[in-house]
């Protein structure tokens, strides 16, 4: 629902990148003692160990910043004091600064007439439609009317099904989402996957036991929905009731989703694949076959689903009695997706609404709204233009060479510096590392969207029609893949665009992806010293490799199959070490009144610490290595200034540790750091060896 608007708050989100692609959560084993944390002697340090310097206002000229007590604050204090957030940016980090550089570059692409070819044509045509505010204002909310009317007219279950299968179903809303991916049994062929739809409150658990996270999602979605529905002609009371009904409908869906859903892997549930006939029989009376047909994805011989219970329960949810709830869900979802397709007032109001939720009161920036809309709808053409304009093969060769070097050292580290692994598991881990695919900077073969076209402003085109054409084209591309040979190792440019400040590890094909967007700013520059590169891009490369060995990566083998490659004893030890790490992070309170979840951030904390271990291993092999420069660059990489609202959201939802913890908690695990600066017992950065939690 926040897809387009998130461009405006992208910087907040991008402060938390260098992530892995989404991977199923894994339950942590057992509990461990929570190590004692010194008592707070400063009310601004709720967790008693380190003042969180990321929150705006926590650090002033007078705040003591000792290297040995709070390294994150010590290195970044001047930057913190001299940084003001750009308009509509609730959070600024080094990665966020890199994103600003990228946005500036992309903004230029929108109007650069020297660019030629179909990608440039599409981008410039959509830019003309999006930025023609006079035309959009003249149309106002009119373009949305027929679609909202079609929902309003639904009066029975049959009419509801007719609507879902009609052209009026603008946002392609069904009781499931569809995707095309490799067959789990025969991974050489593409087939259809169906999942329950995304839920407003984040996960099905939030409908059973609501937490702060669910509340946050609820508040954000309700504000946007209420505003949009009133804008589209409903009164405030109707709008409020409709939102409640949509949540009530989702609660019925959530009830049908078992709690262990996220533990199921798409690669192992071969028994959950059906023929279309079997699948239709399962949902008894709910015409899923017609919906698949209407969506354009019925051409698959095999339908795979992760939660069969959900599809069997649909017949009890789709009843005449529930039609009003489902209808309101359709209205809320459609209205909330229209925010960027109507007039200026709508776009700006919603952008400012998201800004206010993140603690900002600045006016929406029209250029940013336009950029995020164009980039949101045409991700591939924009990415292709960025690659052709700003990336070189030389960059690709340079980064590939660094990664290969890293893999070599990583291998040695696994061989020499991990003493708790048995020879069998060590061998399997090294095989996994050796077999890891490496994608750097940009894909060898760019996605081709030459089959897409839509009418521009001088051909009588409209933004809404352009969107329809783009969505249709995307579905046709998916449909065309069905039954064809799958290539699971191909760089997925939609999920991992080169022009994003990000990098990722995918357990499903054992690959790391280092995108062009991370090769700017404090992360990477050709002119940086070796130590600076190690603290920037080196950290990110090591982090992504390490995801192969975090709690999720540990469950997948060298080819991305969910096959156990551990001895029982080693796996138990691994889980015990993870439990100690989880319990240790549980003890932090990065913001007063919020409980920290070690379980949520464990994969990222493991990746940070393992990467640091590898970097320090490399440092040891280098004559005259400049540790001071390296540690400072690492601390710069995760510097952060955020509004309290943005920090709160990060603490509640982000799977990465808070930024000052990425610096302090990671570095404090290692003697190389502590000894280099003479940090000893009694210093804030000191952690006794028995309390350290690095898993690898």
User: Under the rule (CB under 5 A), what is the footprint of Zn ion?
Assistant: 19-20, 604, 607
Beta carbons within 10 angstroms of residue 419's beta carbon: 5
Closest to Zn ion by CB, 19 or 466? 19
Give the integer Cα–Cα distance in Å for 528 and 531.
Answer: 8
Closest to Zn ion by CB, 265 or 552? 552
CB 30 within 8 A of CB 571: no
Residue 28 C-beta-side C-alpha neighbours within 13 Å: 20
Closest to Zn ion by CB, 58 or 513? 513
The two structure tokens encoding residue 229: 């529905």
Would you say the C-alpha torsion 435, 436, 437, 438 has a positive or negative sign? negative
Strands 503-506, 273-274: pairing is unpaired
Closest to Zn ion by CB, 262 or 478? 262
Which residues lie closer than 8 Å to 283 by C-beta, 6 or more apart? 311, 312, 314, 315
CB of 199 to Zn ion, least distance (A): 24
Closest to Zn ion by CB, 558 or 654? 654
CB of 48 to Zn ion, least distance (A): 27
Give the integer Cα–Cα distance in Å for 57 and 93.
Answer: 16
Closest to Zn ion by CB, 10 or 606? 606
CB of 169 to Zn ion, least distance (A): 36
CB of 505 to Zn ion, least distance (A): 7
CB of 604 to Zn ion, least distance (A): 5
CB of 346 to Zn ion, least distance (A): 36
E strand intervals along 61-110: 91-93
- Provide the H-helix boundaries in 360-483: 366-377, 379-390, 393-416, 423-434, 463-481
- Provide the H-helix boundaries in 256-365: 276-282, 288-295, 308-317, 323-337, 344-357
CB 32 within 8 A of CB 580: yes
Closest to Zn ion by CB, 288 or 433? 433
Closest to Zn ion by CB, 298 or 552? 552
Closest to Zn ion by CB, 107 or 653? 653
CB of 484 to Zn ion, least distance (A): 32
Tell which residue, 125, 163, 129, has the closest CA to residue 340. 129
Question: Helices 344-357 and 366-377, interaxial angle, to 10°?
Answer: 100
CB of 500 to Zn ion, least distance (A): 14
CB of 334 to Zn ion, least distance (A): 34
Q: Map 127-192 to HEC letters.
A: HHHHHCHHHHHHHCCHHHHHHHHHHHCCCCHHHHHHHHCCCCCCCCCCCCEEEEEECCCCCCEEEE
CB of 472 to Zn ion, least distance (A): 35
Give the integer Cα–Cα distance in Å for 609 and 587.
Answer: 18
Closest to Zn ion by CB, 97 or 544? 544
């Amino acid at each position: 629902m926040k897809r387009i608007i998130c461009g405006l708050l992208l910087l907040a989100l991008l402060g938390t990148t260098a992530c892995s692609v989404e991977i199923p959560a894994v339950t942590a084993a057992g509990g461990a003692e929570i190590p004692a944390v010194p008592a707070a002697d400063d009310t601004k340090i709720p967790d008693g160990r380190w003042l969180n310097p990321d929150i705006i206002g926590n650090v002033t000229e007078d705040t003591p910043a000792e290297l040995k007590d709070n390294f994150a604050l010590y290195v970044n204090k001047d930057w913190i004091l001299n940084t003001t957030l750009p308009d509509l940016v609730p959070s600024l980090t080094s990665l966020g600064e890199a994103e600003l550089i990228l946005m500036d570059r992309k903004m230029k692409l929108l109007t650069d007439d020297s660019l030629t070819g179909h990608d440039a044509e599409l981008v410039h045509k959509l830019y003309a439609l999006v930025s023609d505010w006079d035309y959009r204002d003249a149309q106002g909310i009119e373009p949305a009317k027929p679609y909202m009317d079609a929902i309003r007219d639904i009066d029975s279950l049959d009419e509801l099904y007719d609507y879902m299968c009609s052209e009026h179903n603008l946002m392609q809303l069904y009781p499931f989402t569809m995707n095309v991916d490799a067959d789990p049994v025969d991974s050489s062929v593409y087939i259809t996957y169906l999942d329950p739809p995304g839920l407003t409150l984040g996960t099905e658990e939030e409908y059973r036991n609501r937490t702060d996270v669910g509340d946050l999602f609820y508040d954000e979605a309700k504000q946007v929905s209420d505003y949009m529905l009133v804008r589209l002609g409903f009164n405030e009371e109707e709008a409020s009731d409709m939102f409640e009904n949509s949540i009530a409908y989702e609660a019925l869906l959530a009830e049908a989703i078992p709690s262990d859903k996220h533990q199921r892997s798409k690669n192992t549930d071969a028994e959950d694949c059906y023929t279309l006939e079997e699948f239709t029989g399962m949902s008894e009376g709910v015409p899923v076959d017609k919906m698949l047909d209407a969506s354009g994805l019925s051409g698959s011989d095999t339908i795979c689903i992760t939660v069969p219970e959900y599809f069997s329960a649909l017949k009890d949810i789709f009843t005449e009695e529930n039609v009003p709830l489902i209808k309101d869900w359709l209205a809320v979802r459609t209205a909330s997706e229209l925010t960027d397709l109507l007039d200026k007032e709508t776009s700006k109001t919603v952008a400012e609404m998201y800004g206010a939720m993140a603690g900002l009161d600045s006016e929406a920036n029209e250029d940013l709204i336009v950029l995020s809309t164009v980039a949101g709808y045409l991700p591939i053409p924009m990415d292709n233009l960025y690659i052709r304009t700003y990336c070189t093969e030389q960059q690709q060769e340079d980064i590939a060479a660094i990664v290969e070097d890293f893999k070599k050292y990583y291998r040695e580290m696994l061989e020499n510096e991990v003493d708790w692994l048995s020879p069998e598991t060590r061998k399997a881990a090294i095989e996994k590392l050796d077999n890891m695919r490496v994608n750097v900077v940009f894909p060898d073969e760019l996605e081709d969207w030459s089959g897409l076209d839509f009418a521009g402003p001088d051909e009588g085109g409209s933004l809404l029609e352009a969107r329809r054409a783009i969505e249709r084209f995307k579905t046709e591309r998916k449909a065309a893949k069905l039954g064809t040979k799958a290539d699971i190792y191909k760089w997925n440019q939609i999920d991992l665009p080169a022009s994003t400040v990000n990098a990722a590890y995918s357990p499903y094909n054992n690959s790391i992806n280092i995108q062009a967007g991370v090769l700017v700013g404090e992360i990477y520059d050709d002119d940086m010293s070796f130590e600076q590169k190690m603290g920037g891009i080196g950290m990110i490369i090591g982090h992504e490799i390490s995801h192969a060995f975090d709690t999720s990566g540990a469950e997948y083998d060298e080819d991305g199959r969910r096959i156990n490659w551990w001895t029982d004893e080693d796996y138990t030890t691994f889980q015990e070490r993870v439990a100690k790490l989880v319990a240790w992070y549980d003890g932090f309170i990065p913001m007063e009144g919020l409980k920290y979840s070690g379980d949520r951030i464990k994969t990222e904390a493991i990746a940070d610490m393992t990467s640091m271990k590898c970097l320090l291993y490399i440092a040891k092999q280098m004559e005259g290595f400049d540790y001071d420069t390296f540690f400072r660059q690492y601390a710069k990489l995760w510097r952060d200034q955020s509004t309290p609202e943005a920090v709160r959201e990060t603490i509640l939802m982000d799977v990465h540790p808070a930024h000052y913890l990425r610096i302090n908690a990671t570095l404090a695990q290692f003697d190389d750091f502590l000894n280099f600066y003479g940090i000893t017992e009694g210093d804030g950065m000191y952690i006794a060896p028995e309390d350290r939690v690095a898993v690898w």
